[in-house]
Amino acid sequence: MAQTDTLILASGSPRRVELLAQAGIEPTRLMPMDIDETPKRAEHPRSLARRLSTGKAQAALAAIKGDPAFAGSYILAADTVVSVGRRILPKTEMIDEASSALHLLSGRSHRVFTGVCLITPDRTVRQKVIDTKVRFKRLSTTDIERYLASGQWRGKAGGYAIQGIAGSFVVKLAGSYTNVVGLPLYETLALLSGEGFDVHAGWADA
């Protein structure tokens, strides 16, 4: 049975597309939203994840306003924030940012918050923030240098991608693994299902 509900994913993240595909869901349209992701002064990482995911969903809603093709669509957005205490680590674009993040994460625990926002066809807004605790091993100089050379840190919150080489850095993880990848599947499907989206429609073709 093919998926019949229209789903807009307000993200261009290949990881989120892959995670939804893993669950048998294919977004009808990808709409990456370019919003200011700068944390506010003293903003808690959880609050930032919630604010950015909601902002992206609402920006996508504004972008389709008046388009009858998407009048009955669901809009899904997510944003992932990595923090050590209240310190928010950036989505690393420069190698020095990634190096600094890896040195900070080495041998200690950090938290990954993903805000998930769903706007329903009747334009109700549903939100969740999922929290996972991750502990890294103590990284050697070689670990960090070779990881930086791999390029897998580029554009990643906290300077690493758990689904790649950095998965070997993880000593302990408490909570949702898919949350750390970028989209907590259990909670996301629960949100969709709770609002009438048929999450099982594509399972026969998955």
Query: Is residue 199 a part of any domain in this protein?
Result: no
Query: Is residue 206 a part of any domain in this protein?
Result: no
| Interatomic CA distance for residues 196 and 127, integer angstroms | 15
Q: Return the half-sphere exposure (C-beta side, CA atoms, 13 A cut-off) of residue 98.
A: 22
Number of domains present in the structure of the chain: 1
For the chain, the three-class secondary structure string (H helix, E strand, C coil) is CCCCCCEEECCCCHHHHHHHHHCCCCCCEECCCCCCCCCCCCCCHHHHHHHHHHHHHHHHHHHHCCCHHHCCCEEEEEEEEEEECCEEECECCCHHHHHHHHHHHCCCEEEEEEEEEEECCCCCEEEEEEEEEEEECCCCHHHHHHHHHHCCCCCCECCCCCCCHHHHHEEEEECCHHHHHCCCHHHHHHHHHHCCCCCCCCHHHC
Query: Is residue 204 a part of any domain in this protein?
Result: no
What's the domain range around 115? 5-193
Residue type, 169: F
Query: Is residue 200 a part of any domain in this protein?
Result: no
Query: Is residue 202 a part of any domain in this protein?
Result: no
Per-residue pLDDT at 71: 87
CATH of the domain at 129: 3.90.950.10
* Residues classed as catalytic: 79
Per-residue pLDDT at 41: 92
**Residue 177, both tokens:** 């693994």
Per-residue pLDDT of the chain (206 residues; tens, 9 = 90+): 556 689 999 998 999 999 999 999 999 999 999 999 999 999 999 999 999 999 999 999 999 998 888 888 999 999 999 999 999 999 999 999 999 999 999 999 999 999 999 999 999 999 999 999 999 999 999 999 999 999 999 999 999 999 999 999 999 999 999 999 999 999 999 999 999 999 998 888 76
Query: Is residue 105 a part of any domain in this protein?
Result: yes
Query: Is residue 55 a part of any domain in this protein?
Result: yes
Q: Which residue has the tokens 């502990």?
A: 135
Query: Is residue 205 a part of any domain in this protein?
Result: no
